[in-house]
Amino acid sequence: MHDRAIAVLAPDQAATAHELQEIERLIQAYQQANQHLQQVLSSQADTIPPEVLHMMQEIEQREAAGLAVSNQILQALSQGNRAQAEGLLWNQAKPLYVQWLGSINRLIDFEEARIIANSTEANREANGFGTVMLLITALAVAASIAAAVLLARNITRELGAEPYAVRNVVQALRNVELTVKVQVRPGDTTSVMAAVADMQQRFHELVSAVHSNIAHLRATSTEISAGNARLGERTDHTTDSLGRTTLAMGALTHTVQDSAQCTAS
């Protein structure tokens, strides 16, 4: 709007005509910008504060009043009445320009203050969000540590000892070190170490049973050998007795036969 008043200060008609052409170009640019602004305001009418709408109306009203005086100034210049144009400029246009610019500055100050307030609130929310995220992270770390501790305890409970102790016992048994000591916690009957200790005990019992059976077999074998020896001696004695009996029976038979012959004679 104030660009139109510049034409009043032009030194001659040529300069005035040039300024008027420039003013027309600015008018078109301003109308396009104002149209875009109105579209933005219409699309965001629900989110625009009432104070902004009131200030926009005030700016439009003062702009309309200023444009009316500016058109009067341009009409006076086109008629060659420079004195009237200057009078309108200083007495009417200037106060309207000041009021118009004041309204625009108030809108700018209001928006700047609102942006700062929104930025402060956003920063506060961001800081609060950061604090919440830190708390969540701390809780997640604490939960992870607790889960790891519980998992380690459950694993230790299932193993019945620390993993390295279980590994040492298993390696000893793999190397046929059957006398390795297996530590079982009091009351533990279901862990891996308890199963290993039970297996070791049963293996010891099996080995003891095998040794006992071998000793029994050896004793039985010795007794059988002795019995066979005694049976052999008895057999030899019986054979000898049978031989002597046979000889005696033969002599007896011969005697009987001799006796029978003598009787017959």
pLDDT tens per residue across span 145-204: 887 777 777 777 777 777 778 788 778 877 777 677 777 778 877 887 788 788 877 877
Cα–Cα distance between 68 and 78 in angstroms, integer? Answer: 15
CB distance 23 to 7 below 8 Å: yes
Question: Hey, where are the domains in the chain?
Answer: 3-136, 163-236
**Where does residue 89 rank: exposed (0-12), middle (13-18), buried (19+ CB within 10 A)?**
buried
**Where does residue 252 rank: exposed (0-12), middle (13-18), buried (19+ CB within 10 A)?**
exposed
- State mean pLDDT over 247-261: 73
Over 70: is that where the pLDDT of 6 sits? no
pLDDT of residue 16: 60
Mean pLDDT of the residues in the chain: 76
What are all long-range contacts of 21-27, with beta carbons under 8 Å and residues at least 24 apart?
Answer: 23/74
pLDDT band at 68 (very low <50, low <70, confident <90, very high): confident
pLDDT of residue 263: 66
Residue of 174, 20, 223, 136 lying closest to 10 (CA atoms): 20
pLDDT of residue 247: 78
Over 70: is that where the pLDDT of 8 sits? no
Helix axes 163-174 and 192-264, enclosed angle (nearest 10): 20
112 Cβ partners below 8 Å, 6+ apart?
none
Over 60: is that where the pLDDT of 216 sits? yes
Cα–Cα distance between 21 and 10 in angstroms, integer? Answer: 13
Least confident stretch, 10-14, 38-42, 211-215? 10-14
Over 60: is that where the pLDDT of 7 sits? no
Tokens representing residue 188 in the block: 């533990």
Q: In angstroms, how far is CA 209 from the centroid of its own chain? A: 56
85 Cβ partners below 8 Å, 6+ apart?
8, 73, 74, 76, 77
Strand, coil or helix: 248: helix
Q: Return the higher-pLDDT residue of 102 and 177.
A: 102
pLDDT tens per residue across span 175-190: 777 677 777 778 877 8
pLDDT of residue 93: 79
137 Cβ partners below 8 Å, 6+ apart?
none
pLDDT of residue 17: 64
pLDDT of residue 158: 77
